[in-house]
Amino acid sequence: MAADTLSKTFAALADPTRRAILARLTGGEASVSELAQPFDMSLPAVTKHLKVLQRAGLISQGREAQWRPCRLEARPLRDASQWMESYRKHWEQRFDRLDEYLRSTGGRAGPPRHRRKKK
């Protein structure tokens, strides 16, 4: 995956309104005005967010003249998630160090539960 594509994905996700739009689209296709409804925002402002999402390939828009439904395109999220996976051992190491510390202090609580929650 080109570095530039990954940058576009992350930049598109760096906004709570855009993440809320994606969350809404997990429930199915929606028109631009349906997507605009929950936000205290002008239609042009929402359209601007949709363009950022579209350029990042995170949504696509139908061609029907009247009702141009937007739909979620999750593939860039898969690629971004794969990039993050390569750091998993680094965030898990922090918990391993906590485990070691707890054991060395003779705590009776045992290792934290989250350690077993590998997906």
By the criterion CB under 8 A, which residues form the site for its own copies?
A: 3-4, 6-8, 10-11, 13-16, 19, 22, 26, 72, 74-75, 77-78, 80-81, 83-88, 90-91, 93-94, 119
CB nearer its own copies, residue 68 or residue 88: 88
Q: Are 26 and 72 in contact (CB under 8 A)?
A: yes
Q: Are 35 and 70 in contact (CB under 8 A)?
A: yes
* CA-based nearest residue to 88, from 117, 112, 111: 117
Measured distance CA(20)–CA(26) in Å, rounded? 10
Residue 4 C-beta: closest distance to its own copies, Å: 7
Residue 96 C-beta: closest distance to its own copies, Å: 12
CB nearer its own copies, residue 16 or residue 106: 16
Residue 89 C-beta: closest distance to its own copies, Å: 9
CB nearer its own copies, residue 46 or residue 56: 56
Measured distance CA(103)–CA(98) in Å, rounded? 9
Residue 3 C-beta: closest distance to its own copies, Å: 4
Beta-bridge partner residues of 60: 71
**Cα 69 to Cα 9, 58, 80, distances in angstroms:** 21, 14, 25
CB nearer its own copies, residue 87 or residue 116: 87
